[in-house]
Structure 1
Amino acid sequence: MGLKIEEEKLYLPSFIGGGVAGLTVDLVLFPLDTLKTRLQAEHGFHRAGGFNGIYKGIGPQAIGSAPQAALFFVTYETIKYYLEPSVPKYGVPAVHMVGASIAEVMACLIRVPIEVVKQRRQTHPGNKSSMRIALSAYKHEGFRKGLYRGFGSTVLREIPFSAIQFSILEYLRSWFRKNFKNNIPLESYEVAVCGSIAGGIAAAVTTPLDVAKTRIMLANRKQVRTGQVTIRNTLRNIYASDGFKGLFAGFVPRVMWITIGGYIFFGSYDFSKNMCNALLTGEY
């Protein structure tokens, strides 16, 4: 019975907290994501839609946000729970990096199809619905090269992003708790500040990988069939045509989006998780 309670305290709060956090941040900051995607599009910001229709693609994002974030945090918290007690103190950051990396791969199973449909909707000049975009991608390009196009580049972006973000987040939480809180757990708004700083740094460092991921997802079918659309070729072509400026296209909205989003995301996650734990233990 005790094991069941411990499992409930581990999985259910992480699942609910992650779902609430993912849905909240994606819906609140969706316009910044649209602007970032259009700045990174190969055919240019204005041809991709400019400032018009900045909520295009919010449908699939709303559907996918909660489950992907919930799956991420259940995986991450489970790895932390089982591995942290068995490693020496100096190995704990490695647990956080490995846990975040594995969690991102799991989340990408849901994220990538949603991202493909969302980004095509964001940059498509017409009013084709998200469902029609998804069906067209599957019909003309198949499962792997259509709905899961860019899976490798997304994982390649998310693993270093999460490894950087969560190692910084956990360090800041530990440092803040030790130096300012007398080892008392942080309030949700304090966790939010740590998440905001960690997210902004990770976003800045990994912007070129995000640009490559966007270009791959938006590439035309002919390029995909010829096998030209690889991460290495995409980064090389971007640098050849636009230099470092091209590699960091959308830098400002991406960093702004993830810095603000980190505050909302980790704050709402910590608050929802604590609330769920309190309900499970009868303390609320």
Structure 2
Amino acid sequence: MENTHGYIPSALLAGGIAGTSVDVALFPLDTVKTRLQSAQGFWKAGGFHGIYSGLGSAALGSAPTAALFFLTYESVKHFAGSETHWSPVVHMCAASSGEVGACLIRVPVEVVKQRAQANRYMSSLQVLKNTVAAEGFSGLYRGYISTVIREIPFSFIQFPVWEYLKKTWSEYQKSEVEPWQSSVCGAIAGCTAAGITTPLDVAKTRIMLAEKDSLLSRGSIRYALTVVHKEKGVRGFFSGILPRMMWISIGGAIFLGVYDKVKKTVSKYYLKKHDHIT
């Protein structure tokens, strides 16, 4: 049975550390993916130059985004009870709830980050100021719905697969999985989810990078995919799929492995503290 003592601080701390670790470590791959998906094309968007453009916004937003996600995820699991035959459904609902909340922070960060990635001559702060000046505060939430629509199917796949692989491995070795084993499970789950949901990611990127008042900027995923199909055909739906799968596979390993490690460490601390008091 998973230790639930101190699950709130452990989820916050573990999520924050895990989110920052993966976003900073794998930022160049994310930049390559964004530029491959941009309407202007990879080379015109900057190619391999300024590969760290937008890192500031990503580093600043990753910790609170991941912390909020895992706080919600663990809370739903804790109160719904995940140790039942309904556990895959609980994990899906927990992950979806986490994504809806986390996107309140993630979307403004993504808007600033991706625009900085697609324009290597502008810093994250300049992009933020320009966006607010031109579109108001609401401009920072361009693509919120499309991001949520992308993240929910992704989480529907990633987290139940991750939890299932961990459970299966744990039953096989008759002991709880180690953080490195959780990392392997996270890499497989992330890679699978990334490949399947790439078309939604392409649509989200196009919407966030679109010119103000354009049809694309209205946030319709269907219209965005129609534009992509007209420009590049079916292949366009999978623009950037290799760096995306690579990025999320490695990211899943770091993200979920670090999360499990920090979570267990903090939980053990709270358990010892609780036992000492009682």
TM range (shorter): over 0.9
- The residue type paired with residue 223 of structure 1 is S
For 2:99, the equivalent position in structure 1 comes to 104
Alignment of 1:92-171 (within 5 A): 92-126=87-121, 128-144=122-138, 146-171=139-164
Tell me if the contact between 1:219 and 1:229 (Cα under 8 Å) persists in the aligned partners: no
Alignment of 1:1-284 (within 5 A): 9-84=6-81, 89-126=84-121, 128-144=122-138, 146-179=139-172, 181-182=173-174, 184-224=175-215, 229-282=219-272
Tell me if the contact between 2:143 and 2:219 (Cα under 8 Å) persists in the aligned partners: no
- Structure 2 Cα separation of the partners of residues 76 and 227 of structure 1: 31
RMSD of Structure 2 on Structure 1 (CA)? 1.7
Tell me if the contact between 1:38 and 1:44 (Cα under 8 Å) persists in the aligned partners: yes
- The residue type paired with residue 51 of structure 1 is F
Tell me if the contact between 2:210 and 2:217 (Cα under 8 Å) persists in the aligned partners: no
Tell me if the contact between 1:141 and 1:221 (Cα under 8 Å) persists in the aligned partners: yes
Per the TM alignment, residue 7 of structure 1 is displaced from its structure 2 partner at its CA by 7.5
Runs of 4+ in 1 over 6 A off after TM superposition: none
SS of equivalent residue, structure 2 residue 10:
helix
TM-score by length of 2: 0.93
SS of equivalent residue, structure 2 residue 213:
helix
Per the TM alignment, residue 129 of structure 1 is displaced from its structure 2 partner at its CA by 2.3
Question: CA 1:262/1:7 → structure 2, altered by over 3 Å: closer, same or farther?
Answer: closer
Tell me if the contact between 1:25 and 1:265 (Cα under 8 Å) persists in the aligned partners: yes
- Structure 1 Cα separation of the partners of residues 7 and 266 of structure 2: 10
Give aligned pairs, total.
271
Tell me if the contact between 1:47 and 1:125 (Cα under 8 Å) persists in the aligned partners: no
TM-score by length of 1: 0.91
- The residue type paired with residue 221 of structure 1 is K
- The residue type paired with residue 65 of structure 2 is Q
In structure 1, the gaps of 5 or more residues are 1-5
Tell me if the contact between 2:207 and 2:217 (Cα under 8 Å) persists in the aligned partners: no
- Structure 2 Cα separation of the partners of residues 45 and 249 of structure 1: 10
In structure 2, the gaps of 5 or more residues are 274-278
Question: CA 1:227/1:12 → structure 2, altered by over 3 Å: closer, same or farther?
Answer: closer
For 1:3, the equivalent position in structure 2 comes to none
- Structure 2 Cα separation of the partners of residues 229 and 104 of structure 1: 18
- Identical amino acids, percent of aligned pairs: 49
